[in-house]
Structure 1
Amino acid sequence: MMLRQGLSRQILLAMSAVTVIAGLLVFFGTYLAFSIIFYFSPWNEDENGLLTGTDFLVLSGLIFLALIMAAIASVRLARRILEPLESLAQSARRIKDGDLSARATPGDHSLGETAHLVADFNAMAQRLQDMAADVTLWNAMIAHELRTPLTILKGRLQGIIDGVFEPDECSLQSLILQVDSLARLVEDLRTVTLADSGHLDLHIEPIRLQDEIQNLTHVMEPELNAAGFQLTLDLDDIVVRADALRIRQALLALITNARRYAVRGTIEITLSEENQLAIICVSDEGPGLPSDLEPWAFEPFKRGAHAGFSEASGNGLGLSVVRAIVEAHGGTIKYRRSSKGGATFEISLRMPAP
């Protein structure tokens, strides 16, 4: 039977080695010691050439000492193996009881597979602790994001009931805006959650990115011009396999992000091919992301605190939604400073093989 790899193989080999070493130690150690004692002893053999009772007592004593030494060696080796496993079991029970800070100790690092097992367990425990912390943070952030529109809705509706506000078109439009804010937050949360769990539905088909970008910017251009922005396009004719609706959603989020945070000026969108990748870049003229935000730009609920990156702007999910959509397509998204000192978001999508 072939030996299984991993920890079971290590324990089996170790115990087999202990058994073999103990047997050899008892046999050869006893034989050597008894031979020396027998050679120099005043008693050798009886007249029939057999061992005397004294010889048997000496031999028995030597075998007993050899067995004690073998047992000590076995216990020490077994302890080296079992201590980290016991620590692993205790830590697993603590985690089961809700203590996610529990960690196992590797003990003797010379036992490679045992040390790897403990390291993997500790990494798993750390990931569970991080996930629990993320869930707590998400719950707090979601509650914070929902509180403002719900408070406004409740106040407005109560005011209409009490006769403080007239239920005219302006008041109702304001309520609709708050409902839209809630619906957008829920949809963004749904997109990010589905993408992270690998369940974001995509309708993949060949699409011309040039046409999709042009159609989107044609719709957004009047709003951007009214806000003081100019759109410039430099688009190659590239076909990729993607979900057109999701790609437009990602681009819309990036353009909206630039309109919301960038200084008035030019928003440039380019589309090019590089190493069988379709590269979409959305650039503005500044100020770009705060330096402390750059490493966390695509994490949920991460927002800056200066130069327009205010707590009240957006829901903190825009860039994380873009990342979720791009990664669901097997692509990547990166942030860098633009040549004009602003922000450049670069989306890379694989092109179909020629």
Structure 2
Amino acid sequence: MKGLSRQILLAMASVTVAAGLLVFFGTYLAFSILFYFSPWAEDTDNWVTGFDLITLLVLIFVALIVAAVASIRLAGRILQPLESLALSARRIKDGDLSARAMPGDHSLGETALLVEDFNAMAQRLQDMAADMTLWNATIAHELRTPLTILKGRLQGMIDGVFKPDEESLHALVLQVDSLARLVEDLRTVTLADSGHLDLHLQPVRLKDEIQRMAGVLEPELKADGFALKLSLDDVVVTVDAMRIRQVLLALVTNARRYAVRGTVEISLRVENNRALLRVTDEGPGLDADIASSAFEPFRRGSHSGSLEKGGNGLGLSVVRAIVEAHGGKIHYAPSDTGGAIFEIVLGKPAS
């Protein structure tokens, strides 16, 4: 063994030899002092003989050998996981995130826990690197479509294929809006996940905020064949009003795009000393294969449903990020009628 192994073995061997020599010479010195001051010092027959000293020296030498063997074995048990840990750390430093340390003897509790914590950290780093790679590839894919359309349209206008009339320019503006929305959604999710999403928290009467927002949304919902139903308790919660409006707008817009024509209900009540906000539609709800991961970025359903299909796949992840930044929770559940229920649990109502 090298490095740390050699240092620990040398240290333990030195301590063992030093202890043995100290015992031997200490014992010899103690006997010499006692012999010198003893009243029966002249009677050498009652004192330690040379044979006794040789016997003591042999016993100490045997004890040193036993101690050295035990020390080497113990050092090996301790050093095996530490050497593996050091080697794995160097491999991770060099970019091999798949490196893992071997725990060795599990009877060494603290060492085994150290190795397990190291492996858990390495696994998390590997997962984060994989997620980052996938995230970058997905972002590039999402940006490519609107950029390709923009480039093609503009090049067509330059070449005289398309006329720069109001309709064409409006279509280009829509593509720019799509890019801006994607960038803003990415920014929101990234800031929230890193804990840097700015929130302007203050006591807000949610009932009033939802009613004002409903006045804006209701005409568009009616035009698309939806009815908006409100069931609101008078609750005051410390939140960022603008961000909560953003959450509700995303959920209602999601239902408007992908739910069957019917009633969209927004309810607000207090349950277990928590504010409970729900958005419910009449179906068909989320695809069963993605219901458990619907709030992850870039998740889309395989067929029409309450999950935004055809969008950038960030809508529900933005909703989750904002809710969790408030210290709340959001989850999805199918309703008894087959619709979708998005339930948001916020903090304690303000007194």
Using the size of structure 2 for normalisation, the TM-score is 0.85
Deviates more, 1:146-155 or 1:310-319: 310-319
Shift >6 Å, 4+ stretches: none
Q: Deviation at 1:61? A: 2.9
Q: Deviation at 1:63? A: 2.2
One-letter identity of the residue aligned with 1:167:
P
Unaligned runs of 5+ in 2: 1-7, 25-42
For 1:195 and 1:94, the matched residues in 2 are separated by 32
* 1:70-129 CA distance string (max 9 Å, x none): 111111112211211111111111110001111111111111111111111111111111
Q: Deviation at 1:339? A: 2.3
The 3-state SS of whatever aligns with 2:198 is coil
Match of 1:263 in 2: 260
Q: Deviation at 1:226? A: 2.1
Question: Percent of pairs identical after alignment?
Answer: 74
Change in CA separation of 1:70 and 1:221 when aligned onto 2, cut-off 3 Å: same
Match of 2:208 in 1: 211
- 1:201-350 equivalences under 5 Å are 201-308=198-305, 313-350=310-347
One-letter identity of the residue aligned with 1:127:
R
Aligned match for 2:98, one of 77, 98, 101? 101
The 3-state SS of whatever aligns with 1:198 is coil
For 2:214 and 2:270, the matched residues in 1 are separated by 20
Q: Deviation at 1:134? A: 0.7
- RMSD (Å), alpha carbons: 2.3
Match of 2:160 in 1: 163
Q: Deviation at 1:231? A: 1.1
Q: Deviation at 1:300? A: 0.7
* 1:261-298 CA distance string (max 9 Å, x none): 21221111111111221111001111111111111111
Q: In the alignment, is residue 142 of structure 1 matched against residue 139 of structure 2?
A: yes
Q: Deviation at 1:307? A: 2.8
Q: Deviation at 1:51? A: 5.5
Q: In the alignment, is residue 85 of structure 1 matched against residue 77 of structure 2?
A: no
Q: Deviation at 1:310? A: 8.7
Q: In the alignment, is residue 189 of structure 1 matched against residue 186 of structure 2?
A: yes
For 1:109 and 1:225, the matched residues in 2 are separated by 66
Count of aligned positions: 318
For 1:310 and 1:237, the matched residues in 2 are separated by 30
The 3-state SS of whatever aligns with 2:276 is strand
The 3-state SS of whatever aligns with 1:350 is coil
One-letter identity of the residue aligned with 1:231:
L
Deviates more, 1:301-310 or 1:67-76: 301-310
Change in CA separation of 1:170 and 1:310 when aligned onto 2, cut-off 3 Å: farther
Unaligned runs of 5+ in 1: 1-10, 28-45
